[in-house]
Chain A
Amino acid sequence: MSEIYQHPIFGILLTVIVFFAARALRSKIKFVLFNPVLVAITLIILFLVILDIPFEDYNKGGTYLSFFLGPAIVALGVLFYEKYELIKHNIYPFLLAVGCGGLISIASVSLISIAMHAPDVLIRSLVSMSVTTPIAIEITKITEGIPSLTAGVVIAVGVFGNAFGSGFLKLVGIKSQTAVGTALGTAAHGIGTARAIEIGPLPGAYSGLAMCVNGILTTLISPYVVLWIVGSL
């Protein structure tokens, strides 16, 4: 029986079937914790644990899917070009806002980690916490953290931002919908952007762009921050 699990098609089929089932569930029940990615990951882990299948066997197929993260990141550049026209007149305030947010995110992760005496691997894995999952994984490979830990935390941050982001911003006195969009994209990447699109197409565009810009910014800065704090890469 174990030969079947070791075939790449097992991991591919399991992921695709569970993912589309989770998406169908989400379209029936609009509850934020039923985020398709979150549900799919939880169900697949349960399945593998219960049947005692090692992650390595599953990932023989999983790597075929992960491979497409590369071209998907390139596709973000196309998205950026499409949305760029919409916000051209506000480009400088927008870039400054994303820049401040991105830097605050890196600084906050670093300072809290130091204050709580977190192990180095935590800073290495979480420094890219706010950016979109595929880019965060790439950054973690450079900073030599644990890519799976990054993916887990980044997805959790996205779901948190999606659920509470706009409510929190209203509470602290943010009235501009485009500012809410920029903030959701900067802090909670694609899953936050999904929320911004619900608010409106323009906040959605700001959010998508903010996700791309913060991805580039964090890629450029975080290796040096990690090098500075931890002392090695």
Chain B
Amino acid sequence: MSPLRSRLQLLKAFLWIFLFLGIGELIRYVSNVPIPGNILGMILIFSALKFKLIRLKDVKPASDQLLKYMVLFFVPYGVGLMAYFDFISFYWMMLCVIAVVTTLLTLYITALVQQKLEKHE
């Protein structure tokens, strides 16, 4: 495939992603459901792929790029922690207990249920 053609496909793929994001935000705006528009967009794009309204290769170039750099996009929120130094130094014990206990419990219960019920080929 020529480089220009693959660029155009990437652009088209981004337009698809933004279209589904837009539809999600629009539904959120008019219906007032307590679900963020981008999560509605995620459910909608999965449904559209599942029911063959769009093809995987139409959206994959853009989704791969977005997922590859997703962690970069939430760095600014992490930096926002600097405004809460006092809060964290006051509650750090509580935060650690909640985070560690909850994570271990969630890991164990999830793995246990899946291991007990899953079928093997």
Contacts and interface: CB of A to CB of B under 8 A. Distances in A.
Contacts of B14: 71
B107 A168 contact: yes
A204 B96 CA distance: 27
A44 B79 contact: yes
The interface size bin for chain B is 35 or more
Interface string A50-74: 0000010011001101111111111
The interface size bin for chain A is 35 or more
Chain B interface SS verdict (over half): helix
Nearest to A78: B63
A152 to B, nearest CB: 4
Given A36-B71, A180-B111, A81 B46 contact: yes
Interface string A152-177: 11011100110001001100101110
B34 A108 contact: no
Interface string A80-118: 111010000110111011101110110011001100101
Interface of A: 11, 15-16, 19, 36-37, 40-41, 44-45, 48-49, 55, 58-59, 62-63, 65-82, 84, 89-90, 92-94, 96-98, 100-102, 104-105, 108-109, 112-113, 116, 118-119, 122, 126, 129-130, 133-135, 137-139, 141-142, 146-153, 155-157, 160-161, 165, 168-169, 172, 174-176, 178-180, 182-184, 186-188, 190, 206, 210, 212, 215-216, 219-220, 223
What 9 pairs across the A-B complex have the smallest Cβ distances?
Answer: A62-B76, A148-B80, A101-B110, A93-B117, A97-B114, A77-B42, A41-B78, A151-B77, A75-B63
